[in-house]
Amino acid sequence: MTIIAVIVTHNRLLLLQEAVAALQQQEFAPHRIIVVDNGSTDDTATWLSTQTGLQVITQDNQGASGGFYTGLQAAYQQQADWIWVMDDDTIARPDTLSMLVRSLKAMEQDHPAYPLGFLVSKAVFTDGHPHWMNLPEVSRVQGPLPFNRFDQQGIILARSASFVSLLVSRKAIAQCGYPIREFFIWADDIEYTTRITRSGLLGAYVPTSVVLHKTATNYSADIYHAQPNEAQKHFYGIRNTLYCRRVWKGEFAFWTAVLKQIIVIPVRLLRKRKDHHWLFIRINWRAAFSAMVFLPPKSF
């Protein structure tokens, strides 16, 4: 079994160094570590040039989506059976990968007829509590199996998950392609993992496999309390989420959601936000109108 790890980074050298060190200390070591440098302008490139044992891919800043596209593609072309992807603020424990591998072997042995698309670790904040940003989506049934089919092995079936310690199978890429790089950031992981499970492959949440997601705060994106420097991220998040609704639910659901963004959400922004109302109303409107014509090509 060949496992290649992929880290996407942009201007966060100290976090990247910690993330790489954690991968190099894994009990079950990945066969290779690929670092995708998304156009960093700090000292990241200089540091990477001094490192041995890393494969470095440098590109213009294409956002996390473009970084994961590039990293998954490179690992797939290098014949990886499984690809372990994460952001540069993801700090693995020594047994993180071994716990994922143990779980995938248990599932393959128990239910070989239902191939795995991905497994995801439990992401925690610095205080040890679950990270709100990385909660997987669990539905009652996944394909022919109930969500708790593997609970005796400590595994819960998941419909979607984040790119924070996600182990993706080669079969998933062969069947479903790569993340949509045109998303740039936000909702790319949800779209991609949902695409995988909608294709009939299983997704699994493995709470015994734990990573630290080293963000500044433990939060889930919320436009009603976002800071002005986060406005552009919300543009991508709204546009990309509307795109997903169009693909998953159809045109009626999509246009209903667009109208809600244009009419209802601005009213809520005026009521709930303490400041910067019009900045976020404009971002919201721009994202809704952008979603109307956002039709990225298939990522194969």
What is the mean pLDDT of each successive set of 10 residues along the chain, which is 300 residues long? 98 98 98 98 97 96 97 98 98 98 92 90 97 95 90 94 98 97 97 97 97 92 92 97 98 98 96 95 97 89
pLDDT on residue 219:
85
pLDDT on residue 300:
65
Coil, strand, or helix at residue 87?
Answer: strand
Give the CATH architecture of domain 3-213. Alpha-Beta Complex (3.90)
Compute the distance between CA of residue 101 and CA of residue 29 in angstroms, rounded to an integer. 11
The DSSP letter of residue 30 is -
Compute the distance between CA of residue 176 and CA of residue 254 in angstroms, rounded to an integer. 23
Strand 202-213 to 90-92 pairing: antiparallel
The DSSP letter of residue 130 is B
pLDDT on residue 3:
99
Interacting residues of 214 by C-beta distance below 8 A, sequence separation 6+: 15, 18, 89, 90, 91, 126
- CA dist 165 → 56, 82, 154 (Å): 19, 12, 17
Compute the distance between CA of residue 229 and CA of residue 195 in angstroms, rounded to an integer. 30
Which of 7, 9, 6 has the alpha carbon at shortest distance from 62?
9
